[in-house]
Structure 1
Amino acid sequence: MRWQAREDRTWLGGEVAMRMSATPDRVWALVSDVTRIGEFSPETFEARWTRGSTGPAVGATFSGHVRRNGIGPTYWTPCTVIRCEPLRVFEFSVGTERVTVNNWGYRIEPDGDDGSVVTEYFRLEPTVAVRAYWLLFGRARRRTNERGMRQTLERMSAVLER
């Protein structure tokens, strides 16, 4: 099996890891270019840098065009880069300047001379409303997110391994 799902250390998140035959610099170039997410994600089919941002840096902003679970209406969601460690970690928050709903990210670890282990993860903010939602729907939502993260990583891997 090339991927592995692991429950996040908090009960409000999750992650999926996959080994790719691509060096960390190649993986970084892909995961930190939000304009390419539509090629890979089953829910976010496009994204663009906003407010003068042109690339990955802490504080850079972008909007993602989302169709939740791949069905229903579409909407734009504002995002802000909150961790940007080239070749290692790219993480962004989803929500407004005042209210963060969740955080998504990628960790990259070198694996041999030509490979990387790439982990996509999410972590919800522990507000009362989010805790209540997660208590009711968390198990199903985690499974859906893990399925989507596997699909995203598999699609990224296919591009990187061409």
Structure 2
Amino acid sequence: MKQELSSDTVERHIEASPESLYDIVSDVTRTPELSPEIRSCTWVRGATGPAVGARFRAINTTGGHSVWPNWPVVVTADRGREFAFTRTEPFCGTLEWKYRFIPEGSGTRVVESYTVTEPITAVGWFIIDTLGGLHDRPGDLHAGMTTTLDRLAALAESPT
């Protein structure tokens, strides 16, 4: 069955400054602390931190036997405002992931979203659905974004 994937957004208020939240999210080496689908992230090709054009290697997992690498590139690195990257995979199109940080009262509204900018092919959906066992990819991604922002809040709001 072919699934549809276009875009989605999750928002959450977190009692922390936009800059401190940006610093956590844009340090991609910390992504496994936040995302349930990321096993590891490392900067590559000389990159050492968030900057437009910086690349990193991500190892994704669905918690089962499916594990796959991808090599995102940072497209926005505006401290305290926005961090975004794109990832392109063979047959699985291109997705842009974005985190926006909006001052709100004594904290920040964090908006995480993705947009499909190059569609997933029929072969890609076969891999995702049949081989990967991901029968509700839009639902999986939405749940993952919710978990990510919950973990970000727990991390940022906990006393150090």
What TM-score results when the alignment is normalised by the length of structure 1?
Answer: 0.81
Pairing of 1:2-151 with structure 2 (within 5 A): 12-67=6-61, 69-95=62-88, 101-112=94-105, 114-127=106-119, 129=121, 133=125, 140-151=136-147
Q: How far did 1:73 drift?
A: 3.0
Tell me the SS of whatever aligns to 2:76.
Answer: strand
**Which position in structure 2 is the counterpart of 1:7?**
none
1:152 to 137, 140, 148: 148
Would the aligned equivalents of 2:34 and 2:147 in 1 still touch at CA under 8 Å? Answer: yes
Report the Cα distance in structure 2 between the residues aligned to 1:25 and 1:128, rounded to whole angstroms: 34
RMSD of aligned alpha carbons: 2.4
Unmatched runs of 5 consecutive residues or more in structure 2? 130-134
* 1:71-120 deviations in Å (ceiling 9; x for gaps): 22322210100111111110001126xx96211120110011x3000011
Contact kept in structure 2, 1:93 and 1:100, CA below 8 Å: no
* Identity rate, percent: 31
Structure 1 unaligned spans of 5+: 1-10
Matched-pair contact (CA < 8 Å) for 1:12–1:126: no
In 1, distance between residues paired with 2:148 and 2:17?
Answer: 18
Structure 2 Cα separation of the partners of residues 34 and 116 of structure 1: 20
Secondary structure of 1:36 counterpart: helix
C-alpha distance 129-108 of structure 1, shift in aligned 2 (>3 A) = same
Deviations 1:14-57 (A, max 9, x none): 01000000011110111110000011111012100000000001
Residue 70 of structure 1 aligns to a residue whose secondary structure is coil
